[in-house]
Amino acid sequence: MGIEARGLTVVRIGRTVLRDVDLKIDDGERVCIIGPNGAGKSTLMAALLGLLPAERGEVRLDGAPLDRLGRREVGRRVAYMPQVHEGHLGFTVREVVQSGRYAHVHPLAGLDRADREAVDRAVEACRLGNLLDRPVGTLSGGERQKVWLAAALAQDTPAMFLDEPTAALDPRHQADLIGIMRRYAAAGRTLVVVCHDLNLPPAIGGRVVALRDGAVVFDAAVEQLFDPAVLGALYETTFVLHHGPDGRRSVHLDV
Amino acid sequence: MLPGRTLVYPLLVVACLAAAAASLGVGSCGESILIRWGDPGSLQTFTRLTLPRLVMGMVVGATLSVAGTMFQALFRNPLACPYTLGVSSGASLGACVAILVFGGGLWHGWPVVGPAALVGALACMVTVYTIARLRSGCTTGTLLLAGISIGFVCSAVIVLLLFLARTHNLRQALMWMMGSLDDVVGFDGVLESLIMVVPAAGVAAWLHRDLDLLMMGETVAAGRGVNVVAARRLIYFAASLMTAGVVARCGPIGFVGLIVPHAMRVLVGAAHHRLMPACALAGATFLPLCDLLARNAMWWLRQESRELPVGVLTSLIGGSFFLYLLLTRRGDRPML
């Protein structure tokens, strides 16, 4: 599914957080959004979904203006996993994953066969089969993150937006989540990820959009990100780049 | 659903029927209507007083429990209850004005206290929403602050009215504010309450998935496809309307809408398609049982033919049970 923002400006509590952002994400594309703290990454993601009102500009999903689509229709087109989950943790894993079917189900009807299959696929993809009856509050941070991701997968949408999905996870859970994201994108679906970890974009592939002070300052293929001048200007610090024998590149702080 | 949870509903139905049977059988002030069933007036007493009071108790208990569940989901707050946003204070103010200013009783042959309490509750509901909407487009935070503020203002006016009132009206006003079912005569009051409760309960059923998702977080809910603003508004008005419908009739009976949702969440989990029916059954069990005790406690303890306000017992039992849950819950499980 294609997403396009034109002249998007967002003001929050008197502060302009996004300034005239133009961004076009094609159907099936993988895009990582990076930038320093406060650059407007999460705000951009929320505004692209219509979760924050735009002061100026517009967003279109598959050419349709976002503000003319109902929330339920948006929920059928884009799944979203926010950075912070502040809700009640007494729901079971099964209930949270099933909640992903909200936009597809009549309010007074139960889940039909297609809904149950979508839930089963999401549970299988995130390997949550043995946790289904556990309350989310009893799980580890990594397991919880998989549950939120499974709920987004259960929405079975042509696009998925993830806000810092691997933040605060141990390496094993990071690898698990990256694998799930890759498989999702490999099916030709649109994947947009906000991240701080600069080694996540090469793991996902595709394109990188960098924000600074609410404006897009870099928009290119992920291979072009690994330039000390680009990263240094973006984050105002110095980085060391590594080129592995298999051609993979990684980056860490020069401290 | 977890295997043990399937047994909860039949058990709740049995408990509800048992409570109803006990309530009808035990009677009031140590005197069971069954003992003098052959008396000419006993059938009339049964149909005009005993049965309507039981049905009203069940309706009020179920309604307050479901409304409490909705408010707790709306605010993602375990301490929210049907009275958090001032509906009870508005109803109490209306009732106090009717009793203390207009003398209670009848006006041109019509009872004034119930309608005045209903007007107070509805006025409070609309005022809170209007104030909250003026600020930040009616977020749950502004709704909560507006509700608490209006509640305090109503309480202050009530205290002022009580201070200025003549002594003989004070007792009637205070008794009304304690919450009681002893004014229920016939089924008219039950039907009047149900006119407000049934549509609101329909809205609750329609929005059960919205309630789940709002409890998971408003951002999550919006991402899944919930129109958060519309859902929040509908839930607020539905829960307030059903609360107003019963509070106007029986006064602010406390703690039912707080403790029953807690207890049922432990038994059936947090999903509202299971939680709300369980709360309705448990509330319809709990309040008639408390009313049974309230009708007979003074007789059993001191051989006195007067009734305790049922609100005293619901608060006493509910508060104790709340403490029990707090002290005995497993450390690895959230209380809600």
Cβ atoms < 10 Å from Cβ of B79: 9
d(C-alpha A136, C-alpha B171), whole Å = 50
As a whole number, mean pLDDT of residues B182-196 equals 90
| Contact status, residue B12 vs residue B282, Cβ threshold 8 Å | yes
Report pLDDT for B166: 76
Report pLDDT for A7: 95
Task: Confirm whether pTM is higher than 0.95.
Answer: no
Report pLDDT for B2: 57
Buried b (16+ CB within 10 A) or exposed e, B48-60: ebbbbbbbbbbbb
Q: Which of A27, A81, A71 is nearest to B229 (CA)?
A: A71
d(C-alpha B334, C-alpha A135), whole Å = 9
Three-state DSSP at B46 gives: helix
Report pLDDT for A246: 77
Task: For an interface test with B, give the residue of A73, A99, A149, A161 to mutate (most B CBs within 10 A).
Answer: A99
Task: Sketch the domain layout of chain B as residue ranges.
Answer: 3-328
As a whole number, mean pLDDT of residues B185-201 equals 93
Q: How far is Cα of residue A142 from the mean position of the Cα atoms in its chain?
A: 16
Which residues of B lie closer than 8 Å to A, measured between beta carbons?
2, 76, 205-209, 212-213, 215-217, 219-220, 222-228, 265, 269-271, 332-334, 336
d(CA B269, nearest CA chain A) in Å: 7
d(C-alpha B322, C-alpha A185), whole Å = 48
Stated as kind and residue range, the H or E segment containing B5 is: none
d(CA A179, nearest CA chain B) in Å: 23
Of the listed ranges A4-13, B30-39, B140-149, B278-287, the least confidently predicted one is B30-39
Task: For an interface test with B, give the residue of A84, A102, A131 to mutate (most B CBs within 10 A).
Answer: A102
d(C-alpha B234, C-alpha B240), whole Å = 10
Report pLDDT for B327: 82
First vs last Cα of chain B: how many Å apart?
A: 18
How much is the ipTM here? 0.91
As a whole number, mean pLDDT of residues B197-201 equals 96
CB contact (8 A) between residue A80 and residue B223: yes
Does residue B175 surpass a pLDDT of 60?
yes
d(C-alpha B130, C-alpha B290), whole Å = 36
Confidence of residue B111 (pLDDT cuts 50, 70, 90): confident
DSSP state of B104: S
d(CA B273, nearest CA chain A) in Å: 10
Does residue B39 surpass a pLDDT of 80?
no
Report pLDDT for B306: 85
d(C-alpha A188, C-alpha A183), whole Å = 9
Does residue B201 surpass a pLDDT of 70?
yes
Token digits of residue B67: 């409304």
Of the listed ranges B116-130, B167-181, B252-266, the least confidently predicted one is B167-181
CB contact (8 A) between residue A90 and residue B206: no
Does residue B333 surpass a pLDDT of 90?
no
As a whole number, mean pLDDT of residues B146-158 equals 93
Does residue B336 surpass a pLDDT of 50?
no
Contacts of B2 in chain A (CB under 8 A): 133
Q: Kindly give the confidence (pLDDT) of every residue in chain A, 255 residues in length, as a single tens digit, with 9 standing for 90 and above.
A: 899 999 999 999 889 999 999 999 999 999 999 999 999 999 999 999 999 999 999 999 999 999 899 999 999 999 999 988 778 888 999 999 999 999 999 999 999 999 999 999 999 999 999 999 999 999 998 899 999 999 999 999 999 999 999 987 889 989 999 999 999 999 999 999 999 989 899 999 999 999 999 999 999 999 888 888 888 889 988 888 888 777 777 888 877
Q: Which of B205, B212, B332 lies at the smallest CB-CB distance from A108?
A: B205
- Longest alpha-carbon distance in chain B: 65
CB contact (8 A) between residue B269 and residue A138: no
DSSP B239-250: HHHHHHHHHHHH
Q: Which of residues 182-241 of A touch B (CB under 8 A)?
A: none
| Contact status, residue B63 vs residue B197, Cβ threshold 8 Å | yes
As a whole number, mean pLDDT of residues B86-112 equals 85
d(C-alpha B57, C-alpha B307), whole Å = 15
| CATH numeric code, B3-328 | 1.10.3470.10
Contacts of A75 in chain B (CB under 8 A): 223-226
d(C-alpha B130, C-alpha A44), whole Å = 31
As a whole number, mean pLDDT of residues B231-249 equals 93
